[in-house]
Amino acid sequence: MDGLRQVTHIDNVRLGEDKASVVIIDQTQLPSKAEYLTLRTAKDLYDAIFELKVRGAPAIGICAGFGIYVLARTIDADHYDDFYSQFRKYREYLDSARPTAVNLSWALNRMERVVTEHKELPVEEILRLLEAECNAIWQEDMEMCRAISGYGLSLLKNGDGILTHCNAGPLATSRYGTALGPLFLGKEQGMEFKVFADETRPLLQGARLTSYELQKAGIDVTLICDNMASLVMKNGWIQACLVGCDRVAANGDTANKIGTSGVAILAKHYGIPFYVLGPSSTVDLSCKTGEDIRIELRSPDEIKKKFYQAPMALEEVKCYNPAFDVTDHSLITAIITEHGICYPPYTESLARVIAG
């Protein structure tokens, strides 16, 4: 089980020992190289989030919490108004890095509330409270991952075939992960699964990260191209689909890595349960439906050039490269959070989750 623990308990995002930096694993270098980066400036943090050096909704939130604390420590201000003015600039800058994943703004808003609710305190005391809050976000994520993993595992049977899309394991969170968490937890308890991981175009998180985590943990994993999902379902090799999420609308429509919606449509056709797993912080009740979710568009070069020694398309060929799509709530069997399993109608079950 050493390999399993090394995977599930990796500190992929942490506050530096000097409290003046954030240390992350550069996920763009995996699986070839495990390289740690030390982020100290606002630009360092922005670039790490935007360039997907740190990615996965929970991990982005943890990084944002640590990051805004590190930046707050650099503010040279004795008076609250001056301190808050610069804090807001840093907060807005970091928040602009990724528009779709709600955990980024959620964590930054949470840190900002610490500042606004303690304006009567000296700046030094506010900094101490910010440090406590960013560490709380990190610790709560660990507990959240364990709870989601447990609820998700309750829906699976020993020997099940699982299809997953993108990456929602320890690298995307703080510990077990969300969509992959039940598989790691089940492995700890002696269960075996046969996992089929979509490579997940265009950034290949499934190939580079998901298959890496599962293989290192000793879990049976087979990597497939995205357009092979229908065949493995038709062959009867899949008993459940597990995916993560970056934002969940009030009606249960869910944004996740591009291609997730297609997997859900196929699962519906073949009568396979389709489960979305994520923390309650990804539920955005102010977002009524998936139509209100802003979809991030990324560089055409990620399709034409990235991962290739030579371009795979002519320079003048146009590309459409959305990072996410939205899965309609009607295709989702259940949404699993740290507070339990939500079933349709999601307008009611998600509201209960948020209400606590």
Residue pair 23/14 in contact (Cβ under 8 Å)? The answer is: yes
CA distance 82 to 100: 30
Query: Which position among 198, 246, 253, 284 bears the catalytic label?
Result: 246
Tokens 């568009």 locate to 297
Q: What is the dihedral of CA 49, 52, 53, 55, to 10 degrees?
A: 80
CA distance 325 to 327: 7
Q: Which pairs with CB-CB distance under 8 Å and at least 24 residues apart come from 35-42?
A: 39/67, 39/70, 40/70, 42/71, 42/90, 42/93, 42/94
Name the DSSP letter for residue 74. T
- Is 246 among the residues known to form the active site? yes
Angle between the 57-73 and 80-95 helix axes, to the nearest 10 degrees?
150
CA distances, 49 to each of 63, 97, 114, 214, 348 (Å): 8, 6, 23, 24, 33
Q: Which residues are catalytic?
A: 246
